[in-house]
Structure 1
């Protein structure tokens, strides 16, 4: 019973991950996403240690199709994923504002995502540089450089973002009102909560009691199996993972997050596979089916 329930879970993961993309809700970034890329070579490695003036190259994109002298600058803030020309080429609502206001559109990729990686590795020591505080300072330093280098007038800058980058937009406007005239912060989670079970409680309500009970069984089975070598081997096989699941708490948490997110994403983003389709797969063969849809 439990093995069948887990296999259903693996099926669910596979089915959902193909059509669903957390950031773009559309096609995944391709090898051509560097087309049109520009680079800011003077970004500081850290903005909070004046004795460390190392720099790195941060990727950005530009759309000046509507730009005229005196127009505002719309600065799209990259979030937790790679950026591409899509972030300036008409995919978002601020393109309409730029057209109406003769504005320039820029999109700055967030440090440690896509091609904008400041360090030679992603070891824990390096990842200490991946913070929202560093990201905010990146915006200010980039803005000053771009304005001084390319603009012949004092433009109004509008920071734009959605979800995490929406929070950055709101924080940037609040912290640096003299740098950014306005912010467009869409779905911005500005109050960070470390432990937030309410999110999955909403998902549980959305999928209904029958589907929820089956998913609970799958999660409980996986949690138990993670505690033994044999169980981790079986989960690795069921979910067709490239590497054996590790024994550390972080490895276990990463695995559990990976099998929870796809179903939650169906509820949150309402694209690709719908909730009923996902639950139909889960209910066919319990955990077995859950494997298949994620």
Structure 2
């Protein structure tokens, strides 16, 4: 603030303007050089820090994988029926699971059972620290079961997705039956486990499975922590635009310029790629591994972009993490730090957008080019989930470009069904999940905590956001991203996540005590 504007003469009768001091020319040159050297040094320091952070994250990932080996976690396989519901099909496959008994009280200690979802089971073992953090306090056996058709649990090996003849056994009911058989096997073969209460855990699709496991098999599972479980993200239960509105809100809450930049980018992409020269320019500017050639390529690029924004919203964790991709703390904030001027020209805006995208696909700095043909969630298996989305996991999504930042897209089940048939030779059943598991009508359900309904997580649109009974309760976590409460405790955790975890522990203790009390009565 200038002295004459900020102070005036308010009581300072002897006030005199400051004298202007002119430095010798050589001193000015020296100062400018010093500032230049300092800037260069700072840039180099930041570069070195980033390199060090990337190496640290790499070392942590290696250490985590080593930890899974060092903490006495065993990798085992169990022969399972390919088809649990046919008396004519006797084929079996090897179901992979991880087990750790370091903390287990073999005299009836509980079994913490993770219902694996769409990926190799090691990914979920590394990212579900809540189970590890609490196993010692509960003297629990830890089990992570891999979902059929994911990781190494492929019923027909490399043929598993080549034909409906092989892929047709990829269903949630078949997976739940795998888990029931595995639990039954463990309780009958591990000394002291026959009276052990089983507590199911799961996040996202795994959270849906953990809830359905308790609903379908209450005699097998004593209780379930279902984190970020969108069991109502289906036709007739949730509006198709709700999901994308939450994604948009996450970006808009950083700054409206951020979401506006993304909103404007779609038309710019369409306009620029309408010519061969424009396709070449965008391919070069964004350093695409494969140049854009056709309208199919353009649509594929836009689909990839949409998935990036969705994934950023899902894993907007308050600390660096690598659940889907290696990302910094508060990744949306970092991305939006670049997207600050939606009034830029088309090419300038797309150049800026690329800098933001770099945070997602190249935070480590090791990626040489942007491969839009590679999954935007490298840790998970998009092939299996794409098939499930074309059979029973039909979750309507739409956007209008006004209430959200996405390119307008309507939900058309007929078109969706046609696309699925062309790709997989199967037809989706849009109401099957509601028929199987009850939708919003589950009056007999009990002992389920629908947790991590993080309001940052777009999947909360299909989550259970209100308690349904005294024993089917919902935990709202305003500052929570995708199943943040199931992750390991971290100093940067929001207070509401810490409170949610304490609530989980209280419920788990209640379920275990109730199970043990019932067992004593039956003796």
* TM class, shorter-length: 0.7 to 0.9
Deviation at 1:258, TM superposition (A): 3.5
Q: CA deviation at 1:162?
A: 2.0
Instruction: Give the alignment partner of residue 57 of structure 1, picking from 55, 79, 94.
Output: 94
Q: Which residue of 2 aligns with 1:11?
A: none
Shift of 1:38: 2.1
Q: Corresponding residue for 1:269?
A: 317
In 2, the alpha carbon distance for the partners of 1:235 and 1:53 equals: 54
| 1:73 equivalenced with 2:111 (yes/no) | yes
Corresponding position of 2:248: 201
Structure 2: 5+ residue stretches without partners: 1-49, 55-59, 320-327, 342-347, 358-523
With 106-115 and 218-227 compared, the bigger mean Cα shift is at 218-227
Residue from 191, 195, 211 that aligns with 1:170: 211
2:122 pairs with 1:84:
yes
| Stretch moving more, 199-208 or 181-190 | 199-208
Worse overlay, 95-104 or 205-214: 95-104
Q: Report the structure number with the largest CA radius of gyration.
A: 2
Distance 1:123 1:250 in 2: 25
Deviations 1:243-274 (A, max 9, x none): 566728984664243443354346x3344153
Alignment-derived partner of residue 396 in structure 2: none
Partner of 1:23: none
User: Bigger CA drift: 39-48 or 170-179?
Assistant: 39-48
Which ranges in structure 1 are unaligned for 5 or more consecutive residues? 1-14, 20-25
What residue number does 1:188 align with? 229
**Aligned residues of 1:132 and 1:168 also touching (Cα < 8 A):** yes
The offset of 1:62, in angstroms, is 1.2
**Counterpart in the other structure of 1:290:** 353
Match for residue 175 of structure 2? Answer: 135
Change (3 A) 1:210 1:85: closer
Residue 150 in 1 paired to residue 190 in 2?
yes
Taking the TM superposition and a 5 Å limit, the aligned residue runs for 1:19-58 are 27=61, 35=69, 36-58=73-95
Change (3 A) 1:92 1:128: same
TM-score, structure 1 as length reference: 0.74
CA contact (8 A) 1:37 1:59 kept: no
By how many angstroms is 1:175 displaced? 1.0
Q: Give the total of aligned pairs.
A: 270
Deviation, 1:70, is 1.2
Root-mean-square deviation (Å): 3.7
**Contact 1:43–1:138 (CA under 8 A) maintained in structure 2:** yes
- 1:61 Cα deviation after fit: 1.1
Deviates more, 1:57-66 or 1:232-241: 232-241
1:257 corresponds to: 306
Higher relative contact order (CA 8 A, sep 6+): 1
1:3 aligned partner: none
**Secondary structure of 1:139's partner?**
helix
Please say if residues 226 and 252 of structure 1, whose CA atoms lie closer than 8 Å, have aligned partners that are also in contact.
no
**Distance in 2 between the 1:132 and 1:178 partners?**
19
Deviation of the 1:212 alpha carbon: 1.2
- 8 Å CA contact 1:33, 1:83 repeated in 2: no
2:257 matched to 1:210? yes
Q: Distance in 2 between matches of 1:92 and 1:235?
A: 41
Tell me if structure 2 keeps the 8 A contact 1:74–1:158: yes
Cα distance in structure 1, aligned partners of 2:67 and 2:150: 13
Deviation of residue 65 (structure 1)? 0.9
Supply the distance in 1 between the matched residues of 2:284 and 2:63 (Cα, whole angstroms): 28
Distance 1:190 1:249, change over 3 A: farther
> 3-state SS of the aligned residue for 2:337?
helix
Partners of 2:221 and 2:252 in 1: how far apart? Answer: 40
Whether the aligned pair in 2 keeps the contact of 1:74 and 1:157 (CA below 8 Å) is yes
Seen in structure 2, the aligned counterparts of structure 1 residues 264 and 147 have a Cα distance that, compared at 3 Å, is same
Q: Specify the alignment match of 2:269 in structure 1.
A: 222
Deviation at 1:33, TM superposition (A): 9.0
